[in-house]
Structure formats: C-alpha cells, structure tokens
A and B are shown apart, each in its own frame.
Chain A
Amino acid sequence: MVKLSANETIKANSRLLRGTIAEGLRLQATGAIADDDTQLTKFHGIYQQDDRDLRGERARKKLEKAFSFMARVRIPAGVLTPRQWLGLDDVATERGNGTLRLTTRQTVQLHGLIKSNLRPTIQAIHAALLDTIAACGDVNRNVTASVVPQYPAVHAEISALARAISEHLLPHSRAWHEIWIDGELVADAEPEDEPILGRTYLPRKFKISIAVPPHNDTDAFAHEVGLIAIVNGGKVAGYNVLVGGGMGMTHGEPDTFPRTGDLIGFCRPEHVVTLCEKIVTIQRDWGDRGDRKHARLKYTIERLGLDRFVAELTERLGFALAPARPYRFSQTGDPNGWVEGADGKSHHFLFIENGRVQGPVRDALRAIAGAHDGRFILTPNQNLVIADVAPEQRAAIDLLLHQHGLSPSSVLRRNAVACVALPTCGLALAESERYLPDLITALEAEIARNGLADEAIVIRMTGCPNGCARPYLAEIGLVGTGPGKYNLYLGGAFDGSRLSKLYRKDVGHAEILAALAPLLAEYADHRDRGERFSDYVIRARHVRATTAGNRFHADLATDLTV
C-alpha cells in the first residue's frame, strides 16, 4: 500500500471541502487561514498568497506575512457578458488590488483580497452570475475553448460543450455555497456525495480544452483531455481526442516532464461529456495518490501504457472510439484587431500584455462594457475579444480604444505570454509578468536589426517549472530557476504540437540576449521560405526535436552554459 500524500488526508478529513475554512474566516487577528484549509480553498477557486516583496520587513515590524488571497473565476470557454465584466471590475476596485488578471485558462483572477474582503468578493462574483467553484484544486479546472466567434455556429457549440463538461464535472459538495454565499453551515450534515470525483476528489488537477483547427490557441496537446473539433460543412462532426498532455515538472527531477497528449481517436459530440467523465474516473481510480509530482494523468498513462489506458476507457465507455480524423493546426497565437464573422458581426481581438488589465486598457474596457451589448471572450493567450459587434458599431469601439491611448504592440510582444509569478505566487522562483515586458523590449531591437519585425515568434515565460503559461510548447521558452535566472528552451512548434528542448541552463538577462541574438541573426539569413524559428533551430541542430514527453530531458547538448 502506497503511503498517501498529505493532501489526500486533508481531503479525506475535509467533510467534502469544508475543513475549518468558515472558522478561519472569523479569526480577525490573522490574515491567514489554517494551513490545511489553504489546500481546501483551492477547490473553491481561492489561493492564499502573501506579498513576497514584503517578506523581509514583516517580522521586524511585528507583522505577520502580508497575506492576501487570489480568487479565480470559473468561466467555461472564457465567455462573459459586459455586465459580468463590470461586476468583476467593480469588485477588483473595491476589494482587490485594482487589477484584473486574465489567465491562460480563459479566466479572471482577482488578486490582493485580504481575508475580511474574501466573502464579500465571492458574493459579488456570485451576484454577477459567476462562481469560483473548482477553479483550482484537484478537480477538473476551467474548461477552455478556442475563441472563434467568427464561426458563430461552431463557437456556440464548443462554448456550450465547454460549459456542459464543466458543470458535469463540478463537485457536488455544497461547501462553496455554505461558506461563501449563505454563510451558514449545515451542522454535521453531509448529504452530498461525489459520484464522479469521489470523496477525496482527483489525485491532482485535471484540464480539458477544446480546439477548433486551424486554431490551436487552447494548446490542445497540453491538457489531460484535448478535444479537437472536426468541422464539416460548418458543423461540428465530432472531436478528435488527445489524452495525457500536461505541462508541469520539477527542476532536477528527470522523471517529471511536460508531455503532449496522445491522439486516441474520434468521438461524436453527444458522447463527449460521458467520455470526459470516464477519463476522469480512470484517473480518479488509477492516478498516483502517493506522490503529487506524479499524480497527473500523463504519468498514469506513462506508467500503465497508452494501450491499457485506452482499453480501460473502452471498457468504461462501453464502446470504442472511432479512428481519429485528419486535422491541421496552424498557430497558437491570437489574431490582432478586427475579425469578421460569417454572420456579418465583427470581433475585436484586443492584446493585453500578460493579461494584466489595469490603467488605460482597464478604463477602455470599462467604457466599452458600458456601451456594448455583445460578449467579452477571454482567450487562452490572456487577451480579450470584444465580440459580436455590429458593423455600424465598430467605429465607436475603435474610437473608445483610441481615446484611451491604446497603441499597437509589436508582433513579438503580441505573441508573448507570461504567468503571474512574483510577488503573489507562492511557487515562483523568478520574476515573470514583471520581467517579460523588459526582455521583449530588448529583443525587439534584435528582431528589428535582423529584419524580423513581421515574423511571429512565440515566447512564453514562467517563474517556476509548473508551466502555467505553457512555456514548454513555445518556440522560445523561459522557465525560472532562481532569482534572475531562467532555463532557456527552444524548438517548441509554432502550432503547439511539439515540445521544446533545454538550450541554456540558469541564464540571466544578458546571457539570454547573448544566446538568442546570434540565433535570430542566423535565422534571418538562413531560414527557408515560411520556415518557423523553432523549426529552423532544430534543422540547424541547435537543439534536437522533442518527440514525446518522456524524451523531453533526453538528447541535450553537452554544454548548456553560454
């Protein structure tokens, strides 16, 4: 019998995610909640964090750590009404740090919520007809879907599917409502059960996404379940199914690695929810509950083999999946500016650097939300689409954007994604969101010098190896290893289908520039027509191609220092 990880005990003793959260909220003298409860609030979409910039001064000033909370909203497919957007924006001002953070899972995070503001915040989110249930924790996270409002029927169908999957896999526990909304606990009553997730929930987080080729904005290969819509004649015929993708790994532990999902077949639309449920239950039953670093589905599949997994899935489904259908991805990035839909409506893809909504962008979006009756759609690249704009309304939107002084960004910047990292994320080893803009500025000069200003090159950065910004699928990936230090990865495919390879280890700003400058110059001179940067560095043998997750740490060059 494998020894269970500590989290398993916490979950088992939590009375279905209640723990002592409610009691902890009533303790006024501390801004924190009990340690065990910090694991449970994740299931309610809430992370306890502390301002790491301030850690040094606190104890001397007889103050505890500067605790605050991050609340992550559940927004399947990233679709919001402008009114909902305003509700979130309001509460960010009143209770949070005055910013909204869009994420790579198409959600909104509110940061800097102190404990006394937490319940009012969740209630405000609830009042906006949203919730934070299962936005974090060992459950199915926010279900993402390609942002393709230009194909209205397809987008409507995949959005509805994302919502249906999300709802179907939600915890059945009433704990979230009891603790955050009603404020009353049903004494000792545990009437609920968790028929799908189980009373100790999943061994680890679980992610599902839906992509619509040629758009791979959701990074279909990076999730436990990647669904690839097969569209015939404007209708979704069904979905190719990828299983066992995932990003997170741990530095120095080669048996942890990012993994691209395996394509196991084609599923008709009406079976997709059931398919997801069955995959979840296999992971529930077979996943590793002893070591959280090996607890995701990708390791279950590595351990048992894909064949055995598929056999079990067939067994649980009661039928076998059809053979996968042909598809072709072209890119992971978002369009920029206006995109016209088949129904005559327009959609404005607004670049938001690192998803941080503040300052002029925030003001502009407030103004637009007040005047706009379509939808806001959050993208997996942390951008935002002002969707469903009638042709005659476009000028008004353009004017509002112009009035707020939003100037166009370079192609390089628009294709860059960073996670939050410091100062709030407890996992960060290095800066990310606060540093990437400066690195991009430095690289822009290099790019311009080489005449590459119009070339899209995907750059992604995270402050730790857990992979929130999916850096291992970027053409240039930077993963924090320590303060000011990053591992530099190259060769991730432009369309998101191939993992990258470690190129330089523990390098700082100057070394990153020194490493990339000659490669960019070489690429400019020697690339084939239409050849992507990532494909070039592999062809030029700067790195070897990573063919599968379990080869991620293999085939490294012998000298990874500069």
Chain B
Amino acid sequence: MTSSLATPPLSDDQLAPVRRLLAGATAEQRQWLSGYVAGYQAATETRAAIPAAAAAPVAKLPLTVLYASESGNAEALALNVRKVAGRGGFAAKVLDMADVTPADLVGTANLLVIASTWGEGDPPQRAEAFHAALMAADAPHYEKLHYAVLALGDRAYARFCEIGRQFDARFADLGARRIADLVECDLDYKKTAADWTEATLRTLAERAEPAAAVIHVDFARPAAVEAADDAPRVANAEIVEHINLNGSRSDRTTCHIALSLAGSGLTYQPGDAIGFMPRNDPALVEDVLHVTGLLADAGMRDALTQQLDITTLTRAQVGAYARLTGAAALRAIAADDTRIADFLRDRQVIDLLEAAPHALSAAQLTALLRPLPPRLYSAASSQLAVGEEVHLLVARIGWESHGRARHGVASTDLTERRRVGDTLPITVKANPHFRLPADGAAPVIMIGPGTGVAPFRAFLQEREASGARGSNWLFFGARRFTHDFLYQLEWQDWLQSGVLSRIDLAFSRDQREKVYVQHRMWQARRDLYAWLRDGAFLYVCGDAKAMAKDVHAMLLAIIADQTGKDTDAAVAELRALQRAGRYLRDVY
C-alpha cells in the first residue's frame, strides 16, 4: 500500500494509525467503520441545520443498488431505482462497482444489481476489478443476501448480456438468494427496466417482516413515468461550422463540427458526450425498400431513414427472417450456431434481405428491425471557451465487406450529408466519470489518438479559461503528421502559451515502422511515472479494441519498469490509481 499511486489527502502521520487499525480489523469491523465514517460526516455536516429532536429514526428497509456501467445507462438506471425505492420507503444507497470490492457487500441484506456488458462479453472497464474478484475462488460467501440482477446488453453482439448472466449465476453460487429471475435488456431497455424495478422492489417489500416500517409503498405509479423522467432533453442545434480537418492528401476525413446551442437551454461539461439521432444512408434505404418491395411506401421510407436500424444485424433477425420467408438456406444457417456466427460476420441487414429476397409488408419489416439508436460523440469544446456552442470531432468510417461498400451510419451522415445551416436534434449525455480533476493544480496526462483527442481539446479549453495552474500533457497519434494532425495549430498555440506543457506525437505511417502512442509513452516512461507520482490524473480516450488495451498494457509495463516490481504489483498499483479516480477512460 505504501507505494500506492492513489495519493490520499492525509499525511503519513495521520494515516499511520488508520492503517494500523484497518490492518488488524475483520471484514465486518471494516464495514462498520466505513459506515461510521459516513455517518460521522453526515452528522457533522447537517448538525446546524437539523434540530437533534427532529432526527427520530424511522426503520426503513435497507437496499443496495450496485451497478456496472460503461456508457452511463446502468448508472442512470441505478439512480432511478434509488429514487423509486426512496419513495417506497427503502433506505437505498447506490454503489458503483468501481468503488467497492465483493468483501464490502458481506452483510448486505438486499441487493439489486444492474450490469452492462461491453464489447465481446466483457465487463465495463471500471467494473473489471470487481468482476474478477467476484469470479475468483476466494470470493466471499453471502448467506444473508437477497438479490436480483438486471442485465443490459446489445443483441447485435454474440455474448448478449453476458456479464449480467455471470453475476446472476455467481451470486447464487456464493450463497445469496435470488428473489427474481434475471431480466435481460436490449437497446430499448427503458420499459423493461422500469418493470423490473417495480417488480423487484415489490418483492423485497413483501418479503420484509410486517413490523417493518415499509408502508405506503405506491408501486401503482406508472413505471413509464419513471422512464420519461430521465429521458434526456432534445434540442435542435444548428451547424455553424463544418470543416474537414484532414489535409486534402489524407486518406481520412475527420470533421470539426460546431453546433450552436443558442436558445436550446442545453449545457454540458468537458467530458460529456453529445447524443444525436443519425439518418441512414438514403441509398441503403432505397436498397432495403427495393428488396422488400416497399419502394412505393413513403412512410416506410421515412421510418427506414430516421427511426429504424437498417445496418446492425443480429442473430435474432436471421432467425426471424428465416421464419418469415421460409427460405431453406437461411433456416439452415439460423439453426446452426457456427454457421450463423459466420453469416453474421461483417454482414448487415441488407445482406440478410438480399440473401433471400422476399416481399414484406411494412409491418413485417418494422417488426424485423430494431430502433435506430442515437450516437454519442464526446464534446470537443468547453462552454467556458465557446459559450453557447458545442464542437464535435467526427471521423468518417467506411469499409468494404462481402463486396459492398459500408458506411458508418452517424459518421457518414455527419461528415458527408450535413452542412452548415442544417439543424440536428441533439441531447447532452453527462459523463461524470470522465471529468477534469476538481483541483486545478493537479497535473493531467491525456492520451487521445485520433478522434480520442476530442475531450482533451475540451479539457484544455476548460483548463485555460478557468486559469487552472496544473500542468497538461497530451499524447496524440494519427497516420501522418502533415495531413492528419488534428487541431495542430491549436496545440501549437497552447504550447506557446504554456497551457499545454508537453505534447508527444505518434504518426504511424510517416516511416516504415509503425509508431503508436504507447511507444511514445514508453519512450517518456520516466517522466510519465514521475507525473503520476506527483498526483497526475491520467485520461485515455478513443478506440477500445486496440488502443486502450495497448495503452493499459503499456501503463503496467511502465509502472513495473519504474518501480522495479512485478506485474502483479503493477496491476495493483494501476488498480489503486483507478480506484482513486485518477486513471479514467472513455473508450469506444
């Protein structure tokens, strides 16, 4: 512990007795202590405001809502459960898996778990440690625990709701009692989640002893209202600037898009994302209409353009379409796990439709398709600097598979089809886990190749405008220095003014050997570790599949190299940094 990177706000002298006490305490004692400290804090803060006599304790049913969140959906649901539960007479608290260990839950009576699944069946990154500890052989036993799990996922991925399923099974293995079956949610989770909330709270309340003060539970309140409560506010924002930042010789298109928020009432913080509902590629819409024989249906054309997902292909859709058409070949594929996995690879809805062209009714097609999900882009600006505007950095995505040119739905819409003067319906999606340090003097290290640099432009704008004194270090990478150095002149200005203390750049295609940000990190490892030791907050934004993994591995290598310790110790140190909120990632 002594070499932990998580710098506590206490001197070593102050910490020593605490450490001694904790080292000798049982898990139960530690649990009590944490509650004691929280209670002490609450009591001392509210002492002046509330007369002691008014604080007559009411026996409420305790409830812990534990979530594992990547994009914030699970977290928002957890907060909503607390709200509903509070009205229902529960004493509910919400815990982020990032902040607790399985041992912390020993002694908990009522637990609702909301867990998303990320990527190919992985836990959200901030829940990785909890997940690993819960799955480990030495996980604690939960004999008093009653629980239910709500799993969030996306049917487009093979291992749908995998993490929720694992938690659900694991808590039972560890002796806890399941009070409701696992509920799995696809992208349109709100109604299901509201129903689950209502059902599980009712079960818990009914389970409680009649003597308990859980009364007047008004579960008749329509669940849909709860869902509407946290529906984000949508506002129309006009595009006031639309610039491809890549040079004309680049093979990339990355647009700087400035949106006016004037009159919208929307506000955002650096780190937040902007949600937007894209429109599908008109050519692809025509292809779908053509193959389904719906070319004459204007209403369907509209729905396919604006409301339905006509790209993402799921296993369920293959089965449904096979049944719908009765096509033998598709039925055979749908019946075989290996073949369906092969079929799904790099294919989209249009490939399914064209595999067995069949006339569909508008209703059949609508039922087959999923709703078009909104897309999120990190704000690339700070309102302290740009006022009633928000800037987005959008890379056009395109590829080819199975002989067909594919286009990223939202990125192509924004970069190719939207122009200055157009308006976009947008929402603000808060990202409370990707915030600048509250202390402006804290140093900040930002690792953001490609469009991952977007929030860091917002960070620097914010740090500059707020007069934050802390040092700022940026790692950026792209293909070529000359043509792909996004926002080059702005970084130069910030280097000149001292807002940006240091920049390290990796351009992969300027020389024969590929160079990426993690290689620059390794070259700068002494300084990088020194910054971390001095309390730096480290942020990573961008590609999750390769970059974030490589950067994570490099951080472990750097810690091991600089401390002279083994990998396990490096893992622990990095985990401590994460727990301390100083290693933050926004990856996608």
Using CB atoms and an 8 Å cutoff, list the residues of chain A in contact with chain B: 28-31, 51, 54, 57-64, 66-68, 94-95, 114-117, 120
Contacts and interface: CB of A to CB of B under 8 A. Distances in A.
Contacts of A67: 482
A198 B246 CA distance: 46
Contacts of A115: 481
Interface string B502-536: 01110100111000000000000000000000000
Nearest to A120: B511
A66 B243 contact: no
B503 A28 contact: yes
A66 B481 CA distance: 9
A476 to B, nearest CB: 35
A114 B505 CA distance: 14
9 contacts: A28-B503, A29-B488, A51-B482, A57-B248, A66-B247, A68-B482, A94-B512, A117-B510, A120-B511
Interface string B480-496: 01110111111110010
B586 to A, nearest CB: 22
B248 A54 contact: yes
B129 to A, nearest CB: 35
B345 interface: no
B245 interface: yes
A54 B247 CA distance: 8
Interface of B: 243-249, 256, 481-483, 485-492, 495, 503-505, 507, 510-512
Contacts of B246: 61
Is the contact region of chain A dominated by helix, strand, or loop, or is it mixed?
loop
B492 A64 contact: yes
B481 A58 contact: no
B505 A29 contact: yes
Given A29-B495, A29-B505, A54-B249, A64 B489 contact: yes
Contacts of B481: 31, 114-116
Contact of B247 (A30, A58, A114): A58
Contacts of B487: 62
A61 B505 contact: no
Nearest to B520: A28
Contact of A63 (B489, B504, B510): B489
A316 B415 CA distance: 71
Given A62-B489, A64-B488, 5 more contacts: A54-B249, A62-B488, A64-B492, A66-B483, A117-B511
Nearest to B485: A63
A434 B279 CA distance: 44
A28 B504 contact: yes
Contacts of A58: 247
Is the contact region of chain B dominated by helix, strand, or loop, or is it mixed?
mixed
Given A54-B248, A61-B247, A63-B245, A28 B505 contact: yes
Contacts of A95: 511
Given A29-B495, A54-B248, A114-B481, A59 B243 contact: no
A388 to B, nearest CB: 33
Given A29-B503, A120-B511, A61 B490 contact: no
Contact of B245 (A31, A62, A66): A62
A503 B373 CA distance: 71
A61 B245 contact: yes
A114 B247 CA distance: 15
B511 A30 contact: no
B246 to A, nearest CB: 7
A61 B490 CA distance: 11
A31 B505 contact: no
Nearest to B487: A62
B212 to A, nearest CB: 63
A117 B511 CA distance: 7
A116 B483 CA distance: 14
Contacts of B249: 54
A57 B246 CA distance: 10
B245 to A, nearest CB: 5
Contacts of B245: 61-63
B248 A59 contact: no
A61 B510 contact: no
Contacts of B503: 28-29
The 9 tightest CB contacts between A and B, nearest first, are: A28-B505, A62-B489, A63-B488, A66-B482, A61-B245, A29-B503, A29-B492, A62-B487, A94-B512
B477 to A, nearest CB: 11
Nearest to A95: B511
A59 B510 contact: no
Contacts of B247: 54, 57-58, 61, 63, 66
A68 B491 CA distance: 19
B137 to A, nearest CB: 48
Contacts of A64: 488-489, 492
A57 B482 CA distance: 12
Nearest to B505: A28
Contacts of A54: 247-249
A115 B486 CA distance: 18
Nearest to A58: B247
A95 B486 CA distance: 22
A28 B504 CA distance: 7
Contacts of B248: 54, 57
A60 B246 CA distance: 10
Nearest to A56: B248
A240 B489 CA distance: 56
A133 B486 CA distance: 35
B489 A59 contact: yes
Contacts of A66: 247, 482-483
B244 A61 contact: yes
A54 B482 CA distance: 11
A113 to B, nearest CB: 10
A183 to B, nearest CB: 15
Contacts of A61: 243-247
B258 to A, nearest CB: 12
A144 B492 CA distance: 43
A30 B512 contact: no
Given A31-B482, A116-B510, A60 B489 contact: no
Contacts of A51: 482
A383 B132 CA distance: 69
Q: Which of B246, B249, B489, B504 is most buried by chain A, counting CB atoms within 10 A of its CB?
A: B489
B223 to A, nearest CB: 48
A115 B504 CA distance: 14
B490 A114 contact: no
Q: Which of A60, A95, A116 is most buried by chain B, counting CB atoms within 10 A of its CB?
A: A116
Contacts of B510: 114, 116-117
Contacts of B507: 116
A455 to B, nearest CB: 42
Nearest to A94: B512
A508 to B, nearest CB: 27
A260 B482 CA distance: 42
Contacts of A120: 511
Nearest to B513: A94
A209 B412 CA distance: 60
A68 B481 CA distance: 11
A120 to B, nearest CB: 7
Contacts of A63: 245, 247, 483, 485, 488-489
Q: Which of A51, A61, A120 is most buried by chain B, counting CB atoms within 10 A of its CB?
A: A61
Contacts of B482: 31, 51, 66-68, 114
Contacts of B505: 28-29
Contacts of A116: 481, 507, 510-511
Nearest to A60: B243
Contacts of B490: 62
B177 to A, nearest CB: 59
Contacts of B511: 94-95, 116-117, 120
A115 B480 CA distance: 12
A29 B505 CA distance: 8
A68 B507 CA distance: 15
